[in-house]
Structure 1
Amino acid sequence: MLNKQSPLPMYYQIEENVKQRIANEEFKRGEAIPSERELSESYEVSRMTVRQAITNLVNEGILYRRKGRGTFVAEEKIAQPLQGMTSFTEDMKSRGMKPESRLLSLQIKTAPAEISQKLHLESSSQVVKIDRIRYADQEPMAIETTYLSVRKFPDLTEDIVKKSLYDYIEKDKGYTIEKATQMIEAVIAGEKQADLLGVEAGQALLHIERNSYLSDGSPFEVVISDYRADRYKFITDMFRG
Protein backbone atom coordinates (compact mmCIF):
# COMPACT_ATOMS: atom_id res chain seq x y z
CA MET A 1 0.00 0.00 0.00
CA LEU A 2 2.84 2.37 0.89
CA ASN A 3 6.24 2.42 -0.78
CA LYS A 4 8.80 2.71 2.00
CA GLN A 5 11.59 2.99 -0.60
CA SER A 6 10.00 6.09 -2.10
CA PRO A 7 11.51 9.53 -1.40
CA LEU A 8 7.96 10.74 -0.69
CA PRO A 9 7.30 11.04 3.06
CA MET A 10 5.08 8.39 4.62
CA TYR A 11 2.51 10.93 5.83
CA TYR A 12 2.16 12.29 2.29
CA GLN A 13 1.65 8.79 0.87
CA ILE A 14 -1.03 8.18 3.51
CA GLU A 15 -2.78 11.44 2.57
CA GLU A 16 -2.87 10.43 -1.10
CA ASN A 17 -4.06 6.93 -0.24
CA VAL A 18 -6.88 8.25 1.94
CA LYS A 19 -7.94 10.62 -0.86
CA GLN A 20 -8.02 7.69 -3.27
CA ARG A 21 -10.08 5.61 -0.85
CA ILE A 22 -12.56 8.48 -0.59
CA ALA A 23 -12.72 8.77 -4.39
CA ASN A 24 -13.35 5.02 -4.60
CA GLU A 25 -16.05 5.37 -1.91
CA GLU A 26 -14.27 2.93 0.36
CA PHE A 27 -14.41 5.83 2.83
CA LYS A 28 -17.85 7.37 2.29
CA ARG A 29 -18.75 11.02 2.78
CA GLY A 30 -20.27 11.75 6.17
CA GLU A 31 -18.95 8.50 7.67
CA ALA A 32 -16.10 7.93 10.09
CA ILE A 33 -12.74 6.65 8.90
CA PRO A 34 -10.80 4.05 10.95
CA SER A 35 -9.12 5.25 14.13
CA GLU A 36 -5.48 6.38 14.23
CA ARG A 37 -4.57 3.09 15.88
CA GLU A 38 -6.27 1.06 13.17
CA LEU A 39 -4.70 3.12 10.41
CA SER A 40 -1.23 2.91 11.94
CA GLU A 41 -1.56 -0.88 12.06
CA SER A 42 -2.85 -1.18 8.49
CA TYR A 43 -0.23 1.19 7.07
CA GLU A 44 2.49 -0.24 9.36
CA VAL A 45 3.65 3.20 10.49
CA SER A 46 3.62 5.09 13.78
CA ARG A 47 0.49 6.78 15.08
CA MET A 48 2.38 10.07 14.94
CA THR A 49 2.82 9.67 11.18
CA VAL A 50 -0.87 8.84 10.76
CA ARG A 51 -1.83 11.81 12.95
CA GLN A 52 0.22 14.17 10.77
CA ALA A 53 -1.49 12.88 7.62
CA ILE A 54 -4.97 13.13 9.16
CA THR A 55 -4.30 16.64 10.49
CA ASN A 56 -3.19 17.78 7.03
CA LEU A 57 -6.37 16.34 5.50
CA VAL A 58 -8.48 18.06 8.16
CA ASN A 59 -6.72 21.35 7.37
CA GLU A 60 -7.54 20.81 3.68
CA GLY A 61 -11.20 20.29 4.54
CA ILE A 62 -11.21 16.71 3.23
CA LEU A 63 -11.75 15.27 6.71
CA TYR A 64 -13.17 16.77 9.88
CA ARG A 65 -13.07 15.80 13.53
CA ARG A 66 -16.12 15.50 15.77
CA LYS A 67 -15.44 15.81 19.45
CA GLY A 68 -15.58 12.42 21.15
CA ARG A 69 -16.75 10.67 17.97
CA GLY A 70 -13.73 10.42 15.68
CA THR A 71 -12.68 11.66 12.25
CA PHE A 72 -15.15 11.80 9.36
CA VAL A 73 -15.03 12.28 5.61
CA ALA A 74 -16.32 15.75 4.81
CA GLU A 75 -19.46 16.14 2.75
CA GLU A 76 -19.38 18.20 -0.42
CA LYS A 77 -19.28 21.85 0.59
CA ILE A 78 -22.38 23.95 0.11
CA ALA A 79 -21.50 26.65 -2.44
CA GLN A 80 -23.13 29.97 -1.55
CA PRO A 81 -23.04 32.64 -4.30
CA LEU A 82 -22.13 36.08 -3.03
CA GLN A 83 -24.52 37.62 -5.55
CA GLY A 84 -28.14 37.83 -4.46
CA MET A 85 -29.56 37.96 -0.95
CA THR A 86 -31.36 34.98 0.54
CA SER A 87 -32.11 33.78 4.04
CA PHE A 88 -30.63 30.56 5.39
CA THR A 89 -34.06 28.92 5.17
CA GLU A 90 -34.56 29.97 1.53
CA ASP A 91 -31.06 28.88 0.60
CA MET A 92 -31.32 25.40 2.12
CA LYS A 93 -34.80 24.80 0.64
CA SER A 94 -33.50 25.76 -2.82
CA ARG A 95 -30.92 22.97 -2.49
CA GLY A 96 -33.48 20.38 -1.50
CA MET A 97 -32.24 20.35 2.09
CA LYS A 98 -34.39 20.61 5.21
CA PRO A 99 -33.58 23.78 7.19
CA GLU A 100 -34.12 23.86 10.94
CA SER A 101 -33.21 26.22 13.76
CA ARG A 102 -32.52 25.56 17.41
CA LEU A 103 -33.27 28.65 19.43
CA LEU A 104 -30.66 29.22 22.13
CA SER A 105 -32.06 32.50 23.45
CA LEU A 106 -34.36 35.42 22.60
CA GLN A 107 -33.71 38.53 24.67
CA ILE A 108 -34.74 42.18 24.68
CA LYS A 109 -31.79 44.29 25.77
CA THR A 110 -30.14 47.66 25.38
CA ALA A 111 -28.28 47.70 22.09
CA PRO A 112 -24.46 47.53 22.26
CA ALA A 113 -22.85 50.69 20.85
CA GLU A 114 -21.69 49.06 17.61
CA ILE A 115 -25.14 47.56 16.97
CA SER A 116 -26.88 50.89 17.68
CA GLN A 117 -24.63 52.55 15.14
CA LYS A 118 -25.30 49.94 12.46
CA LEU A 119 -29.08 50.02 13.02
CA HIS A 120 -29.16 53.85 13.21
CA LEU A 121 -30.60 53.73 16.73
CA GLU A 122 -30.17 56.04 19.70
CA SER A 123 -27.74 54.73 22.31
CA SER A 124 -30.49 53.83 24.81
CA SER A 125 -32.63 51.95 22.27
CA GLN A 126 -33.61 48.35 22.80
CA VAL A 127 -33.04 45.49 20.40
CA VAL A 128 -34.16 41.89 20.10
CA LYS A 129 -31.12 39.61 20.30
CA ILE A 130 -31.70 36.15 18.82
CA ASP A 131 -29.15 33.35 19.20
CA ARG A 132 -29.73 30.26 17.05
CA ILE A 133 -27.99 27.18 15.69
CA ARG A 134 -28.81 26.64 12.03
CA TYR A 135 -29.21 23.09 10.69
CA ALA A 136 -29.45 21.55 7.23
CA ASP A 137 -30.71 17.97 7.05
CA GLN A 138 -30.25 17.76 10.85
CA GLU A 139 -26.55 18.70 10.66
CA PRO A 140 -25.38 21.89 12.45
CA MET A 141 -24.08 24.42 9.93
CA ALA A 142 -23.78 27.73 11.74
CA ILE A 143 -24.17 29.66 14.97
CA GLU A 144 -26.11 32.85 14.28
CA THR A 145 -26.79 35.96 16.36
CA THR A 146 -29.34 38.45 14.99
CA TYR A 147 -30.10 41.95 16.25
CA LEU A 148 -33.38 43.70 15.32
CA SER A 149 -34.92 46.95 16.54
CA VAL A 150 -37.71 46.39 19.10
CA ARG A 151 -39.46 49.54 17.82
CA LYS A 152 -39.60 48.15 14.28
CA PHE A 153 -40.42 44.55 15.28
CA PRO A 154 -42.23 44.63 18.65
CA ASP A 155 -44.18 41.40 18.21
CA LEU A 156 -41.42 38.85 17.57
CA THR A 157 -42.10 35.49 19.19
CA GLU A 158 -40.19 32.24 19.55
CA ASP A 159 -42.49 30.58 17.02
CA ILE A 160 -41.66 33.22 14.38
CA VAL A 161 -37.94 32.96 15.07
CA LYS A 162 -37.96 29.19 14.69
CA LYS A 163 -39.26 29.56 11.13
CA SER A 164 -38.08 32.26 8.67
CA LEU A 165 -37.46 35.81 9.84
CA TYR A 166 -37.46 37.06 6.26
CA ASP A 167 -40.94 35.60 5.67
CA TYR A 168 -42.14 37.40 8.79
CA ILE A 169 -40.50 40.69 7.79
CA GLU A 170 -41.76 40.69 4.20
CA LYS A 171 -45.08 38.83 4.37
CA ASP A 172 -46.33 39.64 7.86
CA LYS A 173 -44.85 43.10 8.36
CA GLY A 174 -45.06 44.21 4.72
CA TYR A 175 -41.48 45.46 4.39
CA THR A 176 -39.35 45.00 1.27
CA ILE A 177 -35.80 43.79 1.89
CA GLU A 178 -33.44 45.35 -0.64
CA LYS A 179 -29.75 44.78 0.07
CA ALA A 180 -27.04 43.92 2.57
CA THR A 181 -23.39 44.63 3.22
CA GLN A 182 -21.45 41.53 4.24
CA MET A 183 -17.98 40.96 5.66
CA ILE A 184 -16.36 37.50 5.71
CA GLU A 185 -13.20 36.40 7.49
CA ALA A 186 -11.64 33.20 8.79
CA VAL A 187 -11.65 32.45 12.53
CA ILE A 188 -10.83 29.47 14.74
CA ALA A 189 -13.55 27.65 16.68
CA GLY A 190 -13.35 28.07 20.44
CA GLU A 191 -14.54 25.40 22.87
CA LYS A 192 -18.12 26.71 23.06
CA GLN A 193 -18.48 27.15 19.29
CA ALA A 194 -16.97 23.72 18.65
CA ASP A 195 -19.37 22.09 21.12
CA LEU A 196 -22.45 23.72 19.51
CA LEU A 197 -21.34 22.81 15.97
CA GLY A 198 -20.13 19.31 16.84
CA VAL A 199 -16.57 19.94 15.62
CA GLU A 200 -13.12 20.05 17.21
CA ALA A 201 -11.90 23.22 18.90
CA GLY A 202 -9.38 24.93 16.65
CA GLN A 203 -11.23 24.00 13.46
CA ALA A 204 -11.62 26.78 10.89
CA LEU A 205 -14.91 28.70 10.72
CA LEU A 206 -16.19 31.36 8.34
CA HIS A 207 -17.12 34.43 10.40
CA ILE A 208 -19.75 36.53 8.61
CA GLU A 209 -21.20 39.89 9.62
CA ARG A 210 -24.18 41.16 7.63
CA ASN A 211 -25.91 44.55 7.84
CA SER A 212 -29.23 44.42 5.94
CA TYR A 213 -31.39 47.24 4.60
CA LEU A 214 -35.02 47.79 3.60
CA SER A 215 -36.14 49.42 0.34
CA ASP A 216 -36.37 52.84 2.05
CA GLY A 217 -32.64 52.62 2.83
CA SER A 218 -33.05 52.01 6.56
CA PRO A 219 -31.02 49.23 8.23
CA PHE A 220 -33.21 46.59 9.86
CA GLU A 221 -30.87 43.81 11.05
CA VAL A 222 -27.34 42.93 12.02
CA VAL A 223 -26.47 39.24 11.75
CA ILE A 224 -23.24 37.75 13.10
CA SER A 225 -22.65 34.13 12.06
CA ASP A 226 -19.97 31.47 12.35
CA TYR A 227 -20.27 28.83 9.60
CA ARG A 228 -18.43 25.53 9.47
CA ALA A 229 -15.68 26.02 6.89
CA ASP A 230 -15.67 22.27 6.18
CA ARG A 231 -19.28 22.49 4.95
CA TYR A 232 -19.55 25.95 3.41
CA LYS A 233 -17.77 27.93 0.72
CA PHE A 234 -18.57 31.20 -1.02
CA ILE A 235 -18.28 31.83 -4.74
CA THR A 236 -18.51 34.97 -6.84
CA ASP A 237 -18.23 36.04 -10.48
CA MET A 238 -15.60 38.65 -11.26
CA PHE A 239 -15.25 40.84 -14.33
CA ARG A 240 -12.23 42.80 -15.47
CA GLY A 241 -12.99 46.40 -16.37
Structure 2
Amino acid sequence: MIDKQSPLPIYYQIEKDLKDRIERGEWQEGHMIPSEREYAEHYNVSRMTVRQAITNLVNDGFLRRQRGKGTFVASKKIQQKMVRLTSFTEDMKQRNMIATTKVLSFTLMKADSLTAALFQMNEGEEIAEVQRMRLADGLPMALETSKLNLRLLQGITEKVIQHSLYDYIEHTLNLKVGAAVQKLEASVARQHESALLQITKGSPVLLMTRETKLKDGQVFESVKSVYRGDRYAFVMEMNREG
Protein backbone atom coordinates (compact mmCIF):
# COMPACT_ATOMS: atom_id res chain seq x y z
CA MET A 1 0.00 0.00 0.00
CA ILE A 2 0.94 3.67 -0.22
CA ASP A 3 2.60 5.41 2.71
CA LYS A 4 1.98 9.13 2.33
CA GLN A 5 4.36 9.83 5.21
CA SER A 6 7.23 8.11 3.44
CA PRO A 7 10.06 10.21 1.97
CA LEU A 8 9.65 8.17 -1.23
CA PRO A 9 7.50 9.96 -3.84
CA ILE A 10 3.97 8.58 -4.09
CA TYR A 11 4.28 7.96 -7.84
CA TYR A 12 7.40 5.86 -7.15
CA GLN A 13 5.55 3.77 -4.56
CA ILE A 14 2.73 3.13 -7.04
CA GLU A 15 5.25 2.30 -9.76
CA LYS A 16 6.97 -0.23 -7.48
CA ASP A 17 3.65 -1.80 -6.48
CA LEU A 18 2.62 -2.33 -10.11
CA LYS A 19 6.09 -3.55 -11.11
CA ASP A 20 6.09 -6.08 -8.24
CA ARG A 21 2.78 -7.51 -9.47
CA ILE A 22 4.26 -8.05 -12.93
CA GLU A 23 7.48 -9.61 -11.63
CA ARG A 24 5.58 -11.93 -9.26
CA GLY A 25 3.55 -13.18 -12.21
CA GLU A 26 0.29 -11.88 -10.79
CA TRP A 27 -0.24 -10.16 -14.12
CA GLN A 28 0.71 -12.10 -17.23
CA GLU A 29 1.83 -10.77 -20.60
CA GLY A 30 -1.10 -9.11 -22.37
CA HIS A 31 -3.08 -8.50 -19.15
CA MET A 32 -4.96 -5.17 -19.23
CA ILE A 33 -4.42 -3.23 -16.03
CA PRO A 34 -7.12 -1.02 -14.42
CA SER A 35 -7.59 2.54 -15.64
CA GLU A 36 -5.86 5.60 -14.21
CA ARG A 37 -9.17 6.67 -12.66
CA GLU A 38 -9.58 3.35 -10.87
CA TYR A 39 -6.03 3.51 -9.53
CA ALA A 40 -6.48 7.12 -8.43
CA GLU A 41 -9.51 6.04 -6.41
CA HIS A 42 -7.76 2.92 -5.09
CA TYR A 43 -4.67 4.79 -3.88
CA ASN A 44 -6.58 7.99 -3.05
CA VAL A 45 -4.24 10.11 -5.15
CA SER A 46 -4.55 12.29 -8.24
CA ARG A 47 -4.74 10.79 -11.73
CA MET A 48 -1.63 12.81 -12.61
CA THR A 49 0.34 10.91 -9.97
CA VAL A 50 -0.91 7.56 -11.29
CA ARG A 51 -0.16 8.63 -14.86
CA GLN A 52 3.46 9.40 -13.97
CA ALA A 53 3.92 5.94 -12.41
CA ILE A 54 2.38 4.19 -15.42
CA THR A 55 4.35 6.30 -17.91
CA ASN A 56 7.59 5.34 -16.17
CA LEU A 57 6.67 1.64 -16.46
CA VAL A 58 5.80 2.10 -20.14
CA ASN A 59 9.16 3.79 -20.77
CA ASP A 60 10.94 0.96 -18.92
CA GLY A 61 9.20 -1.67 -21.04
CA PHE A 62 7.00 -3.25 -18.36
CA LEU A 63 3.73 -1.88 -19.75
CA ARG A 64 2.50 -0.83 -23.18
CA ARG A 65 -0.28 1.55 -24.09
CA GLN A 66 -2.67 0.75 -26.90
CA ARG A 67 -4.58 3.78 -28.10
CA GLY A 68 -8.32 3.47 -27.61
CA LYS A 69 -8.04 0.19 -25.71
CA GLY A 70 -5.99 0.60 -22.55
CA THR A 71 -2.67 -0.28 -20.93
CA PHE A 72 -1.33 -3.83 -21.00
CA VAL A 73 1.53 -5.86 -19.53
CA ALA A 74 4.28 -5.85 -22.15
CA SER A 75 6.20 -8.79 -23.56
CA LYS A 76 9.43 -9.60 -21.77
CA LYS A 77 12.51 -8.06 -23.35
CA ILE A 78 14.86 -10.17 -25.42
CA GLN A 79 18.35 -9.91 -23.96
CA GLN A 80 21.40 -10.12 -26.18
CA LYS A 81 24.75 -10.69 -24.49
CA MET A 82 27.50 -8.60 -26.06
CA VAL A 83 30.25 -11.18 -25.78
CA ARG A 84 30.19 -12.76 -29.23
CA LEU A 85 29.48 -11.49 -32.73
CA THR A 86 26.26 -13.12 -33.91
CA SER A 87 23.56 -12.34 -36.44
CA PHE A 88 19.97 -11.47 -35.56
CA THR A 89 18.87 -14.84 -36.96
CA GLU A 90 21.35 -16.68 -34.75
CA ASP A 91 20.26 -14.67 -31.68
CA MET A 92 16.60 -15.58 -32.18
CA LYS A 93 17.38 -19.23 -32.88
CA GLN A 94 19.20 -19.48 -29.55
CA ARG A 95 16.00 -18.29 -27.86
CA ASN A 96 13.80 -20.75 -29.76
CA MET A 97 12.16 -17.87 -31.60
CA ILE A 98 11.49 -17.69 -35.32
CA ALA A 99 13.41 -14.87 -36.99
CA THR A 100 11.99 -13.37 -40.16
CA THR A 101 13.11 -10.49 -42.33
CA LYS A 102 11.05 -8.05 -44.35
CA VAL A 103 13.12 -6.28 -46.99
CA LEU A 104 11.92 -2.69 -47.24
CA SER A 105 14.41 -1.59 -49.89
CA PHE A 106 17.43 -2.89 -51.83
CA THR A 107 19.30 -0.19 -53.70
CA LEU A 108 22.52 -0.21 -55.72
CA MET A 109 24.36 3.10 -55.41
CA LYS A 110 27.73 4.76 -55.67
CA ALA A 111 29.87 4.92 -52.56
CA ASP A 112 30.36 8.38 -51.08
CA SER A 113 33.75 9.46 -49.78
CA LEU A 114 33.18 8.22 -46.19
CA THR A 115 31.86 4.82 -47.24
CA ALA A 116 34.61 4.40 -49.84
CA ALA A 117 37.25 5.09 -47.20
CA LEU A 118 35.65 2.61 -44.80
CA PHE A 119 35.45 -0.11 -47.48
CA GLN A 120 38.91 0.76 -48.89
CA MET A 121 37.54 1.31 -52.37
CA ASN A 122 37.35 4.20 -54.80
CA GLU A 123 34.67 6.83 -54.38
CA GLY A 124 31.85 6.10 -56.83
CA GLU A 125 32.28 2.31 -56.76
CA GLU A 126 29.05 0.36 -56.49
CA ILE A 127 27.71 -0.68 -53.09
CA ALA A 128 24.33 -1.88 -51.89
CA GLU A 129 22.15 -0.12 -49.34
CA VAL A 130 19.57 -2.35 -47.69
CA GLN A 131 16.77 -1.53 -45.30
CA ARG A 132 15.25 -4.48 -43.45
CA MET A 133 12.68 -5.02 -40.75
CA ARG A 134 13.76 -7.74 -38.31
CA LEU A 135 10.99 -9.69 -36.59
CA ALA A 136 10.89 -12.39 -33.91
CA ASP A 137 7.84 -14.66 -33.83
CA GLY A 138 6.18 -12.14 -36.14
CA LEU A 139 6.74 -9.13 -33.85
CA PRO A 140 8.79 -6.12 -35.06
CA MET A 141 12.08 -5.91 -33.16
CA ALA A 142 14.42 -3.70 -35.16
CA LEU A 143 14.77 -1.52 -38.22
CA GLU A 144 18.13 -2.10 -39.87
CA THR A 145 19.87 -0.07 -42.58
CA SER A 146 23.07 -1.58 -44.02
CA LYS A 147 25.67 -0.55 -46.55
CA LEU A 148 27.36 -3.59 -48.10
CA ASN A 149 30.74 -3.88 -49.78
CA LEU A 150 29.93 -5.54 -53.12
CA ARG A 151 33.60 -5.94 -53.96
CA LEU A 152 33.71 -8.54 -51.15
CA LEU A 153 30.11 -9.76 -51.07
CA GLN A 154 29.61 -10.95 -54.62
CA GLY A 155 26.22 -12.22 -55.67
CA ILE A 156 24.24 -10.33 -53.00
CA THR A 157 20.62 -9.96 -54.09
CA GLU A 158 17.35 -8.98 -52.45
CA LYS A 159 16.48 -12.67 -52.13
CA VAL A 160 19.74 -13.40 -50.29
CA ILE A 161 19.23 -10.72 -47.65
CA GLN A 162 15.79 -12.01 -46.77
CA HIS A 163 17.73 -14.54 -44.72
CA SER A 164 20.94 -14.46 -42.67
CA LEU A 165 23.67 -12.43 -44.35
CA TYR A 166 26.36 -14.04 -42.17
CA ASP A 167 25.19 -17.51 -43.20
CA TYR A 168 25.51 -16.53 -46.88
CA ILE A 169 28.99 -15.09 -46.32
CA GLU A 170 30.30 -18.13 -44.47
CA HIS A 171 28.55 -20.99 -46.26
CA THR A 172 28.11 -19.70 -49.81
CA LEU A 173 31.05 -17.34 -50.24
CA ASN A 174 33.26 -19.41 -47.90
CA LEU A 175 34.51 -16.28 -46.14
CA LYS A 176 34.98 -15.88 -42.40
CA VAL A 177 33.25 -13.14 -40.43
CA GLY A 178 35.86 -11.76 -38.03
CA ALA A 179 35.11 -8.89 -35.64
CA ALA A 180 33.07 -5.72 -35.31
CA VAL A 181 33.22 -2.29 -33.75
CA GLN A 182 29.82 -1.59 -32.24
CA LYS A 183 28.36 1.49 -30.54
CA LEU A 184 25.11 1.54 -28.58
CA GLU A 185 23.22 4.61 -27.41
CA ALA A 186 19.78 5.67 -26.27
CA SER A 187 17.48 7.49 -28.68
CA VAL A 188 13.82 8.07 -29.47
CA ALA A 189 11.78 6.85 -32.41
CA ARG A 190 11.28 9.25 -35.28
CA GLN A 191 8.08 9.35 -37.31
CA HIS A 192 8.96 6.78 -40.00
CA GLU A 193 10.67 4.50 -37.46
CA SER A 194 7.68 4.51 -35.12
CA ALA A 195 5.33 3.61 -37.96
CA LEU A 196 7.43 0.63 -39.04
CA LEU A 197 8.18 -0.60 -35.51
CA GLN A 198 4.54 -0.12 -34.43
CA ILE A 199 5.35 2.21 -31.55
CA THR A 200 4.45 5.82 -30.85
CA LYS A 201 6.67 8.64 -32.08
CA GLY A 202 9.19 9.55 -29.39
CA SER A 203 9.18 6.11 -27.77
CA PRO A 204 12.56 4.99 -26.32
CA VAL A 205 14.71 3.00 -28.75
CA LEU A 206 18.22 1.58 -28.75
CA LEU A 207 20.38 2.94 -31.57
CA MET A 208 23.17 0.59 -32.59
CA THR A 209 25.85 1.28 -35.20
CA ARG A 210 28.35 -1.35 -36.27
CA GLU A 211 31.21 -1.83 -38.72
CA THR A 212 31.87 -5.51 -39.37
CA LYS A 213 35.06 -7.06 -40.77
CA LEU A 214 36.04 -10.31 -42.35
CA LYS A 215 38.73 -12.42 -40.71
CA ASP A 216 41.36 -10.68 -42.86
CA GLY A 217 40.33 -7.26 -41.53
CA GLN A 218 38.39 -5.98 -44.55
CA VAL A 219 35.14 -4.16 -43.68
CA PHE A 220 32.17 -5.71 -45.48
CA GLU A 221 29.24 -3.88 -43.87
CA SER A 222 28.26 -0.70 -42.08
CA VAL A 223 25.00 -1.05 -40.15
CA LYS A 224 22.63 1.26 -38.30
CA SER A 225 19.90 -0.51 -36.33
CA VAL A 226 17.02 0.92 -34.32
CA TYR A 227 15.76 -1.57 -31.71
CA ARG A 228 12.50 -1.28 -29.81
CA GLY A 229 13.39 -0.25 -26.29
CA ASP A 230 10.42 -2.13 -24.84
CA ARG A 231 11.37 -5.45 -26.43
CA TYR A 232 15.14 -5.57 -26.62
CA ALA A 233 18.02 -5.19 -24.16
CA PHE A 234 21.77 -5.56 -24.62
CA VAL A 235 23.69 -7.17 -21.75
CA MET A 236 27.46 -6.84 -21.26
CA GLU A 237 29.57 -9.17 -19.17
CA MET A 238 32.61 -7.47 -17.65
CA ASN A 239 35.65 -8.82 -15.84
CA ARG A 240 37.75 -6.64 -13.56
CA GLU A 241 40.93 -8.51 -14.47
CA GLY A 242 42.84 -7.98 -17.70
Same fold (TM over 0.5): yes
Normalising by structure 2, we get a TM-score of 0.88
Distance 1:130 1:139, change over 3 A: same
Look up the equivalent residue of 1:174 and give its one-letter code: N
Moved more, 199-208 or 176-185: 199-208
Equivalents in 1 of 2:93, 2:237: separation in Å?
Answer: 21
Question: Alpha-carbon deviation of 1:37?
Answer: 4.0
| Code of the aligned partner of 1:236 | E
Alignment of 1:18-167 (within 5 A): 18-66=18-66, 70-167=70-167
1:92–1:28: structure 2 CA closer, same or farther, 3 Å change rule? same
- Please give the alpha-carbon distance, in whole angstroms, between the structure 1 residues aligned to 2:119 and 2:30: 40
Deviations 1:11-49 (A, max 9, x none): 233212212321343322344433434444544443222
TM-superposed CA distance for 1:131, in Å, is 0.4
Query: Counterpart of 1:136 in structure 2: which amino acid?
Result: A
Q: Could you say what secondary structure the match of 1:89 adopts? A: helix
2:239 corresponds in structure 1 to 238
Q: Equivalent residue for 2:12? A: 12
What runs of 5+ residues in structure 1 fail to find an aligned partner? none
SS at structure 1 position matched to 2:174: coil
Letter in 2 for 1:127: I
Identity %: 44
Structure 2 gaps of 5+ residues are none
Instruction: Say which is worse superposed, 225-234 or 167-176, in terms of deviation.
Output: 225-234
Change (3 A) 1:99 1:7: same
Please state whether the residue corresponding to 1:97 is helix, strand or coil: coil
Aligned residue pairs total: 241
Amino acid at match of 1:148: L
Contact 1:66 1:199 in 2 (8 A): no
Counterpart contact for 1:106–1:130, Cα < 8 Å: yes
Structure 1 pair 102–38 and aligned structure 2 pair: CA distance change class (3 A): farther
Matched, 1:191 2:191: yes
In 1, the alpha carbon distance for the partners of 2:67 and 2:118 equals 36
The question of whether the paired residues in 1 share the 8 Å contact of 2:81 and 2:237 is answered with yes
C-alpha spacing 1:71/1:217, structure 2 compared with 1 (3 Å)? same
Q: What residue identity is the alignment partner of 1:81?
A: K
Counterpart in 1 of 2:220?
Answer: 220
Aligned-partner Cα distance in 2 for 1:239–1:7 = 36
| Greater mean deviation of Cα atoms: 216-225 or 55-64 | 55-64
**Which 4+ runs in 1 deviate beyond 6 A?**
none
**Structure 1 letter corresponding to 2:172:** D
Task: From the superposition, tell whether residues 112 and 50 of structure 1 become closer, same or farther in structure 2 (CA, over 3 Å).
Answer: farther
Normalising by structure 1, report the TM-score. 0.88
CA distance in 1, matches of 2:181, 2:4: 53
Q: 93-102 or 50-59: which moved more? A: 50-59
Q: CA RMSD in A?
A: 2.3
Kept after mapping to 1: 8 A contact 2:107/2:130: yes
Contact 2:149 2:219 (8 Å CA) reproduced: no
SS at match of 1:158: coil
Give secondary structure in 1 for the equivalent of 2:159. helix
Q: Report how far residue 156 of structure 1 moved.
A: 2.0
